[in-house]
Amino acid sequence: MCRFVAWIGDPIFLQDIVCAPAHSLVRQALHAERAHTVTNGDGFGVGWYGERDEPATYREVMPAWSDDNLHSLCETVRSGLFFAHVRSATGTAIARNNSHPFRFGRYLFMHNGQIGGYPKLRRALEARLPDRMYAARKGSTDSELMFLLAMAQVARGAQPQAALRAVFDETVAAMERSGIGEPLRFAAALSDGESLWAFRLSSDADPPTLFVRDAARGTIVASEPFDDDEAQWIAVAPGDTVRLQRNLHGPASLDANSLGAALHWSGGARDPLAVA
């Protein structure tokens, strides 16, 4: 499966999260420790919010560890909200349009997991896309398809978190109607430039890993810890969604009471993660 990391907080250089840590996302591309697939070399991408309302992205098909342009970009770009993702393909082509994160308008999205039996279900799911969303579909992944289905609901007035969870539930129901026994596994991050939502969902009891870590200048969401201080990393419980608000350190609101308690930081308890 894929690996990803997201940051929300004060503007920092992308390299402080993506490249510099001992077990950074770039290193996870070569050797992930908490994934079914150790190597995630089927492309990568970063997406960040700057001075414009809509995010920028840089996506490639080569492994993250071999792209000098990625390192140069991460050394130069500062952002208070950014995503980074390394891909392990699950049945669709290794292509730039299939690399995460995906964007639509002001929204960014990335995903770790897959729709079980996707080839059998793909045509029916794509038929649900309105013309505008269908025209925006550039790749062939289940991840992009679920994102655009959620964007269709947002366009009709749904809240982003509710829209994505509804698409998850509707997809599981469609899988059941089609007699698909494989699970839908879904760890994902979604942002509109102000809020960040992180999801850890699955139709079985084995969702992809997902962690949250509070830091001195913001909050990190990641597929797996990237340093040795694992006590500071809080596992998102299966079935939970976390919402983080830009310009606030730590979570603004949480769906899960247990996670909310774990992330209730008192004065002086915050860990000064070395991000400048």
Structure tokens of 26?
């770039």
DSSP line for the chain: --EEEEEEEEEEETHHHHTSSTT-HHHHHH--SSSSSS---S-EEEEE--SSSSPEEEEESS-GGG-HHHHHHHHH-EEEEEEEEE---SSS---GGGSSPEEETTEEEEEEEEETTHHHHHHHHHTTS-HHHHHH--S--HHHHHHHHHHHHHHTT--HHHHHHHHHHHHHHHHHHTT--S-EEEEEEEE-SSEEEEEEEESSS-PPP-EEEEETTEEEEESS--SS-GGGEEEPPTT-EEEEETTSSSEEEES-HHHHHHT-PPTT-S---S--
How many percent of the chain have pLDDT more than 70? 82
The per-residue pLDDT for 55 is 98
pLDDT digits (tens, 9 = 90+) for 217-239: 999 999 999 888 888 999 999 99
pLDDT at residue 40, as a whole number = 52
Q: Give me the percent of the chain exceeding a pLDDT of 90.
A: 64
**Predicted confidence band of residue 1 (pLDDT cuts 50, 70, 90):** low
Range scoring the smallest mean pLDDT among 41-50, 60-69, 114-123, 228-237: 60-69
Distance CA 89, CA 69 (A): 22
At residue 25, the pLDDT reads 81
**Mean of all residue pLDDT scores within the chain:** 85
Q: Where residue 38 falls among pLDDT bands split at 50, 70, 90?
A: low
What are the tokens at 250? 């730590």
**pLDDT at position 136:** 96
Q: Does the pLDDT at position 256 exceed 80? A: no
Q: How confident is the model at residue 124 (pLDDT cuts 50, 70, 90)?
A: very high
In the numeric block, the tokens 């009891």 are attached to: 205
Q: Which residue has the higher pLDDT, 275 or 131?
A: 131
pLDDT in tens, 71-121: 899 999 999 999 999 876 677 767 788 988 999 999 999 999 999 999 999
pTM of the model: 0.86
